Chain A
């Protein structure tokens, strides 16, 4: 099957094929959403290797329970639910293999050539961006995994508070409080850095 043909196959067809035990079709579905699931996993457990294991566990669970998927909701909504449950199960069992966190320095050193983080740190702008990036990551690190996940679900995934509360088994108030706590922490962290100008932020966004 060529790439062109792959693109043409709709999500519903891929789901139908995957439900009929077609591993290739399921892998194509995974390719569409793997990045989002990985990002959630990475920010949740803050370790690159654990994020890989955790996100792949999500895909395995999804593959095993795909026959139970009814097209009532979108595939990603269903997948996100599995993702959250997997994360929460890991949190309960505290079964992350690696206790340490992937630090910003490690992350930048490992991926300096490949990520969009600028490798040329000589320029003032690049340094500023690096500091900004570090501050955001450190502010997120100060939150609990649940608070971080709630913040991500709200501001990265765009879920409503009702959906978050339902998925995380908490009240809407708790979800709102977690988000606000994250914003306050991020705000205080970024206050240390000189207040970023709009154009700088826009550049950062383009770079990243």
Chain B
């Protein structure tokens, strides 16, 4: 069944693709419909005439000699170095003078300059900070506290007597024995001397004691 719209789509595809001859499928459709055939011929002719017209706009041969002469001049001008009108003054040359510097050297110079700038800015900041300022604030200082323990040892007169006589004394402390109301005779049964004893002797007490 012929469909003019489908056929025109086929034509569109064919002509935009630039094919010169219709496909087999399109040929079958074109044979069925004279209108489609006319349309196809018209489109083909349009493209043909257009292409010819595009080419016909080309200028005549006489034009091209001038064209190429002009182009040659432009090419030579683009090759030739620019001519300076007059000798520039020394200060103008100073501003225009450039020195070729290797990239690493240039980079090192830039880094050096940046470092110097940074150093200068930091130095000025430090100087500002050195000005004296009074800051009052509570500070907690740890102090080592020395504790003095005083131990009072009472000398037993009786014990001294016993020790002198070579008798043994009880291991009960003099203090404990003094606290007792009744005086127990000294004995050294079960006495074990302690390894180290520190005695602080307080002189004085009674008037005739040294």
- Total chain A interface residues with beta-carbon distance under 8 A: 51
- Closest-by-CB residue of A relative to B38 is A195
Q: Given A34-B68, A38-B58, are A23 and B46 neighbors across the interface (CB < 8 Å)? A: no
B74 CB to nearest chain A CB (Å): 6
CA–CA, A110 to B114, complex, Å? 67
- CB-defined interface of A170-208 with B at 8 Å, one 1/0 digit per residue? 000000100110010011001100011010010011001
A79: Cβ under 8 A from any B Cβ:
no
A27 CB to nearest chain B CB (Å): 5
A11: Cβ under 8 A from any B Cβ:
no
Q: Given A34-B64, A111-B59, are A60 and B54 neighbors across the interface (CB < 8 Å)? A: no
A87: Cβ under 8 A from any B Cβ:
no
Q: Given A60-B74, A60-B78, A154-B18, are A195 and B60 neighbors across the interface (CB < 8 Å)? A: no
**Other-chain contact of B60, A30, A114, A136 (Cβ < 8 Å):** A114
Within 8 A of B (CB), among A55-112: 56, 59-60, 63-64, 107, 111
**Other-chain contact of B53, A30, A63, A64, A137 (Cβ < 8 Å):** A137
A125: Cβ under 8 A from any B Cβ:
no
CA–CA, A205 to B76, complex, Å? 39
Report A-chain residues with C-beta under 8 Å of the C-beta of B16: 154, 176, 179-180, 183
On chain B, which size bracket covers the interface? 35 or more
B51: Cβ under 8 A from any A Cβ:
yes
A75 CB to nearest chain B CB (Å): 16
Do A39 and B58 touch across chains, with their CB atoms under 8 A apart? yes
- Closest-by-CB residue of A relative to B66 is A52
Q: Given A176-B16, A205-B48, are A59 and B75 neighbors across the interface (CB < 8 Å)? A: yes
- Closest-by-CB residue of A relative to B53 is A136
Do A190 and B78 touch across chains, with their CB atoms under 8 A apart? no
A202 CB to nearest chain B CB (Å): 9
B70: Cβ under 8 A from any A Cβ:
yes
Report A-chain residues with C-beta under 8 Å of the C-beta of B75: 23, 26-27, 59-60, 63
- Closest CB pairs A-B (n = 3): A208-B56, A114-B60, A136-B53
For the A-B complex with A23-B72, A140-B54, A155-B18 known, give 14 more contacts whose Cβ atoms are closer than 8 Å. Answer: A27-B75, A31-B64, A34-B64, A38-B67, A43-B57, A48-B59, A59-B71, A60-B75, A132-B49, A152-B54, A155-B51, A156-B55, A183-B16, A208-B56
A-B contact pairs, 20 of them (CB 8 A): A23-B72, A26-B75, A34-B64, A43-B54, A52-B70, A56-B70, A111-B59, A114-B63, A115-B56, A116-B56, A133-B56, A137-B53, A158-B18, A176-B16, A180-B12, A183-B46, A183-B47, A187-B43, A195-B45, A208-B53
